[in-house]
Structure 1
């Protein structure tokens, strides 16, 4: 196979440019969505005689747009810098591949920011249906196992023995659980574990409990964990836990946090048990 040249770019370079185009399109979609939300809320304000709740929503949306712009700036600038390096004439193949990989890393991070923002702004909660808890947990394990392996963290998943169903939207619940699992993986040290357990114990709710071995959450931060854009990590949209709470609220559930500094955290997502399954 010939070495990559300017005429035959490497697969990494092709992927970088493809993802750059895709992310640019998603940025445009996110901007248009924000514009439409601002226009809609502005119209509501104009016809609602300055109602306080709507003013607060508009203010929150403006704050969100400003924070997102700030979060997009650094990874986008880095991606553009690496793309500029890729365009340099006479660049060695090894350097070209290295810059392409760096570009991909920044663009994938941007893509995740955009996905989180669109999920939060649109409130992507579909109509509730009966969801098999066993099937949901098995899919979640398949999605998260490769990431756990790469990060050197053991993934422990406890599938409930008795058939259980929850009453919610499957993509929304899966997305919420992925957010909890990703947070737990990022918090846990190499060689540690992340455990997912599911229980009902005769309750009308099913609890999905995600436990990590991270540093824990300081008491001073616990009251802000579910605020949009609040994050203690260097990278992250700060929307993951807000989306989890949004999903729980949409289907009559809630989220609980147990944490002790130095001894890890456990986040539990409670969702209503499907009544027919509960009676079976």
Structure 2
């Protein structure tokens, strides 16, 4: 057999062997290759390529490949050289894009067979450009693209995409880029293949990480931003997966399957790949799927824009709420200053008068009771004025190491609630690994005391108040639960507004103080109804105070 590419170009037209003259009458394009030359080419092939039989017979095969299949030379030329040097013929038909002499590109399918002589190779070529399957695929993927644009999260986009491709008879996977590795996203593959792969990997397929260094082909597709069609899918499988996994794939999928890997780009950056396999995957269909992968990227960008818009709207709403809260606190602060100045002096005078009256010996039981009631009410008014000032005064935390569990126990020790408070049951659960935090001990004690007092005042006699302290993320979480009436049918965030009352005997200031102190430390606090009965308050405090607006 002659070495490929060694002979000079011929200037005469070869005489077709009489044994191959039967190919002349075939309506299907056919040719016979011997070494580096076309031994025979029928009129149907010349017409298909837009050239003449003489041109085909007088031109070396490698030059014909360069001229008519420039996009496929990467795999066609090595295959030709292997066959021309005695290698095995391809067992299954191949799809490829052919560029006619007039520049038109056509999709063709080629069958290979042994010729009459050992050194001859017979090729039959079918023009499949007009197949309706590509049109049906395009229509189905266009409909799926419209559906994807209505999705509001990335997972829904990808699930819609793989469903649409799978319904057209293909197997499909999405490979997601995560740093220096790739992992499987949504996929539609044979269930037994996935199960066997998970057994071999020892983990769910979605948890398998494939280093980019082990899949240079995928990296090349992402870098070139252009899809790659694989007439031999198994060659790629062998390069990516361990031998036992690759053997499992070869066992379950037909050997004539082709593959396609198309890049998914989001905002110009690699997001992943759309990987498709199937026995009916043609280069024309691959082109449609490549366009579809671009639409997938557009739908993912659409999701990101919606998420960004929602985040900005939420931030705008938060800033608006803070502005309203600041204006409210400004007015409240001015009023609180007037109240404190105008009320505290009279209250002090009343308390002095109460002290004088208590020393009067002629007061009977009724008088003593009246004096005691007067003293209690004055103390209550002083507490209200103090709470009012705590709500509006600027908070400047002075951090030092603080144990939140100790603050909770101290708040319980200082508690003086309603007469039935001693009948309540209190439990404090503190995790042994709870860290200390950097916080203003005085301010935090104030917040914890108000939070515990709120739970006590909300609970019925004989009820239970439970406090839990534990580490959480990068800080500490304090949870206070009661068995009271719970939170009314309003937004739970409103319970932290000044003067918002849920009880007839409440002041509406304690929880407002809690919120301002927690926010001043860079933490968060939220309220929610407990399942069944009662309320639950969660306070998250960072290890180090990071001041936020306490409005």
Normalised by the length of structure 1, the TM-score is 0.64
Residues 195 and 116 of structure 1: is their aligned pair in 2 closer, same or farther, counting only changes over 3 Å?
A: same
1:265 aligned to 2:542?
Answer: no
Structure 2 match to 1:39: none
Normalised by the length of structure 2, the TM-score is 0.34
Q: Structure 1, unaligned stretches of length 5 or more?
A: 1-52, 276-280
Q: Name which of 134, 155, 158 aligns with 2:429.
A: 158
Structure 2 match to 1:20: none
Q: Would you say the 8 A contact 1:185–1:194 is kept in 2?
A: yes
CA deviation string 1:204-259 (max 9, x = no partner): 02111110000000232523111122122233332211111111111110002121
Structure 1 match to 2:485: 215
1:183 aligned to 2:183?
Answer: no
Q: Name which of 371, 376, 380 aligns with 1:100.
A: 371
Task: Return the alpha-carbon distance in structure 1 between the equivalents of residues 492 and 522 of structure 2.
Answer: 22
1:234 aligned to 2:504?
Answer: yes
Task: Return the alpha-carbon distance in structure 1 between the equivalents of residues 410 and 328 of structure 2.
Answer: 38
Name the SS for the 2:438 alignment partner: strand
Higher strand share: 2
Q: Would you say the 8 A contact 2:477–2:538 is kept in 1?
A: yes
Task: Return the alpha-carbon distance in structure 1 between the equivalents of residues 474 and 363 of structure 2.
Answer: 62
1:173, CA displacement in angstroms? 0.8
Task: Return the alpha-carbon distance in structure 2 between the equivalents of residues 160 and 59 of structure 1.
Answer: 39
Residues 57 and 191 of structure 1: is their aligned pair in 2 closer, same or farther, counting only changes over 3 Å?
A: closer
Task: Return the alpha-carbon distance in structure 2 between the equivalents of residues 134 and 124 of structure 1.
Answer: 22
1:169, CA displacement in angstroms? 0.6
Name the SS for the 2:495 alignment partner: coil
Q: Name which of 193, 200, 222 aligns with 2:464.
A: 193
Residues 220 and 137 of structure 1: is their aligned pair in 2 closer, same or farther, counting only changes over 3 Å?
A: closer
Structure 2 match to 1:138: 409
Residues 259 and 59 of structure 1: is their aligned pair in 2 closer, same or farther, counting only changes over 3 Å?
A: closer
Q: How does 1:76-91 map to 2 (within 5 A)?
A: none
Task: Return the alpha-carbon distance in structure 1 between the equivalents of residues 373 and 531 of structure 2.
Answer: 34
1:190, CA displacement in angstroms? 0.3
Structure 2 match to 1:244: 514
Q: Would you say the 8 A contact 1:127–1:169 is kept in 2?
A: yes
Task: Return the alpha-carbon distance in structure 2 between the equivalents of residues 63 and 147 of structure 1.
Answer: 27
Task: Return the alpha-carbon distance in structure 1 between the equivalents of residues 372 and 532 of structure 2.
Answer: 34
Q: Name which of 21, 36, 61 aligns with 2:330.
A: 61
1:170, CA displacement in angstroms? 0.6
Structure 2 match to 1:168: 439
Residues 56 and 178 of structure 1: is their aligned pair in 2 closer, same or farther, counting only changes over 3 Å?
A: closer
**Structure exhibiting the larger radius of gyration computed from Cα positions:** 2
Q: Name which of 365, 389, 395 aligns with 1:118.
A: 389
Task: Return the alpha-carbon distance in structure 2 between the equivalents of residues 95 and 210 of structure 1.
Answer: 41
Q: Would you say the 8 A contact 1:167–1:251 is kept in 2?
A: no
1:91, CA displacement in angstroms? 6.8
Q: How does 1:4-83 map to 2 (within 5 A)?
A: 57=326, 60-63=329-332
Residues 176 and 150 of structure 1: is their aligned pair in 2 closer, same or farther, counting only changes over 3 Å?
A: same
Q: Would you say the 8 A contact 1:187–1:215 is kept in 2?
A: yes
The structure showing larger relative contact order (alpha-carbon pairs under 8 Å, at least 6 residues apart) is 1
Task: Return the alpha-carbon distance in structure 1 between the equivalents of residues 378 and 532 of structure 2.
Answer: 33
1:60, CA displacement in angstroms? 4.2
Task: Return the alpha-carbon distance in structure 2 between the equivalents of residues 224 and 133 of structure 1.
Answer: 25
